[in-house]
Structure 1
Amino acid sequence: MLSRLHTKQFLKLLSITIGLSLFIGLFPSLFANPDQFDGDIYYVDTVSQNRNRAPQRPHPDLHVPTVPAKQDITVFSNAPTDKTAYPYIQTTINFVEGHLSLKAFLSDGTEVAYSTRGEHLRYSKCYGDLCIIVSQKNLLGVSNTSTEWEKGHIFGEERYEVAMGHKAALVASDRKLYIYNSYTNHWETISLEQETLSAFANLYDKVAIITSRRILVMDLTTEMQYEQNLLLRRIYQFEMRDGFINFYSGSKLWMFRHQTEAFEEVDLTD
């Protein structure tokens, strides 16, 4: 009786030992090849995790344009040396870009609005008593004497150079000069025919423009323009003062007097 009991216990223990040995032997191979398990386990688990997980958005820093934006508007730099002693100029006007609109705030607190529906801004700048904006369709200007944004039309030019004075601003293309006059709130257009812009300056109510062929002086209060042909000479230096403007070309000087509104030619070798 006792021997039979020991025999049964021995056989039971032996079967358990053999079972454990087989399981331990198969353990690495089972996990090395998960396909031996029922695939539905993995499928259901993956779906439940994705269903409970909020969708992840790509990080915004990853969406960087691969092609840089075209730099089609640059700040104009004078080729001749500008010796003008400019006073301290305070900017007294500002604008804010809102939803499909621009709002300019003048020095007296007046608000002047403009709808930008259908336009996108390419350049904007406030300086002194004026602000200008270049869009893909229009030139816009506003000053402290404005009642609305003054619109100047552009004609398909793609490249521009911009220069700011405290009473006037210049937007220059390869073919034309567009000048905003803050006194009259008007855009003046000057054609460039076989000539290039060399310099632009604004002091008080006078504007000086130098091209490869001529000198232009504009009085902003009257919109009068005065011209001097350069006779194939080059201006190397200029200076604007309260009563006159000097344009130096080597041994020659062209002086524009505000009082007489005329150019005088001076030979510096005498």
Structure 2
Amino acid sequence: MFSWQHSKLIIKVLTVIIGFSIVIGIIPSLFANPNQFDGDMYYMDTVGQNRSRPPQRPHPDLHVPTVPAKPDITVFSNEPTDKTAYPYIQTTINFVEGHLSYKAFLSDGTEISYSTRGEHVRYSKCFGDLCIIVSQKNLLGVSNSSTEWEKGHIFGEERYQVAMGHKAALVASDRKLYLYNSYTNHWDTISLEQETLSGFANLYDKVAIITTRRMLVIDLPSEVQFEENLLLRRIYQFEMRDGFINFYSGSKLWMFRHQTETFEEVDLTD
């Protein structure tokens, strides 16, 4: 028969064994990955009140790209396919941005300065024989035939598309087209009435403009405009050449001849 001393000894041994087992079970958790709960953590509102969610720390392996703000001036891209074979175009004019000014340097070495004091320049570029600047107040253009920067006024329009040609540049808003002519150093305004711009091209002294309602051909030296109604058709492809401009609309072709300065309609199914 066991004595009371023996019982107490057995109880002590069992207590030591149980305590040792608990310690063995806790030790691995002390060395576990401390970041195993990284990522999104959600909190439940147990009292039925709207609480602001605390800032979340993203997972270190998760890359969330920032979305840039959409610019208010974009480079225009033709909707119809432009098949024009453009020659190599050398930019023969340049400008330098100074303190509150732009200085244009023409091909003959002439320097023409424009003060931008009080204006915020939103777009500027030189290409071919011309340079343009778009500010919040004005449109500015200069070319190798200029004696000063030519100013065109804009009124309360915020969004623009810009297209550059060798001899002409286009600044298009939702309501109007502003065309800079390097031959005459002049801004011409074309109103858009229930139509939108879909194509623009400039080859030598001719400009082709396509909208959802009409085709325009402009002779830059004379500033004469020639127009043809699309009659609810759509231009899918166009091509500018030395002597003519072709506008394709499915089975129909409109050809503008430079020599006669007229549009000729051709049925391609014959």
- For 2:169 and 2:137, the matched residues in 1 are separated by 18
- For 2:214 and 2:174, the matched residues in 1 are separated by 16
SS in 1 for 2:174: coil
Give the corresponding residue for 1:49: none
Q: CA deviation at 1:68?
A: 5.6
- For 1:101 and 1:252, the matched residues in 2 are separated by 50
Give the corresponding residue for 1:159: 159
Give the corresponding residue for 1:87: 87
SS in 2 for 1:77: coil
Give the corresponding residue for 2:135: 135
Residues 190-229 of structure 1 correspond to what in structure 2 (within 5 A)?
Answer: 190-229=190-229
> Any unmatched runs of 5+ in structure 2?
1-65
Amino acid at match of 1:210: I
Give the corresponding residue for 1:124: 124
Q: CA deviation at 1:212?
A: 0.1
Amino acid at match of 2:221: T
Q: CA deviation at 1:71?
A: 0.7
- For 2:184 and 2:223, the matched residues in 1 are separated by 8
**1:189-211 alpha-carbon deviations (Å, 9 max, x no partner):** 00000000000000000000000
- For 1:205 and 1:105, the matched residues in 2 are separated by 22
Q: Does 1:252 align with 2:252?
A: yes
SS in 1 for 2:170: strand
- For 1:189 and 1:99, the matched residues in 2 are separated by 31
**1:74-96 alpha-carbon deviations (Å, 9 max, x no partner):** 00000000000000000000001
Q: CA deviation at 1:148?
A: 0.2
CA-based RMSD: 1.2
Give the corresponding residue for 1:114: 114
Q: CA deviation at 1:70?
A: 5.1
Could you tell me the TM-score, scaled by structure 1's length? 0.75
Amino acid at match of 1:247: F
Q: CA deviation at 1:100?
A: 1.2
Q: CA deviation at 1:233?
A: 0.2
- For 1:174 and 1:244, the matched residues in 2 are separated by 29
**1:137-192 alpha-carbon deviations (Å, 9 max, x no partner):** 00000000100000000011000000000100000000000000000000000000
Q: CA deviation at 1:101?
A: 1.0
- For 1:102 and 1:67, the matched residues in 2 are separated by 32
SS in 2 for 1:218: strand
Give the corresponding residue for 1:173: 173
> Any unmatched runs of 5+ in structure 1?
1-65
More helix by share: 1
Residues 32-71 of structure 1 correspond to what in structure 2 (within 5 A)?
Answer: 71=71
- For 1:203 and 1:166, the matched residues in 2 are separated by 7
- For 1:97 and 1:245, the matched residues in 2 are separated by 38
Q: Does 1:101 align with 2:98?
A: no
Give the corresponding residue for 2:27: none
- For 1:246 and 1:68, the matched residues in 2 are separated by 39
Q: Structure 1 residues 84, 68: CA separation in 2 closer, same or farther (over 3 Å shift)?
A: closer
Amino acid at match of 2:150: E
Q: CA deviation at 1:67?
A: 10
Moved >3 Å (runs of 4+): 66-70
SS in 1 for 2:77: coil
Report the structure number with the largest CA radius of gyration: 1
Q: CA deviation at 1:69?
A: 5.4
Amino acid at match of 2:172: A
Give the corresponding residue for 1:269: 269
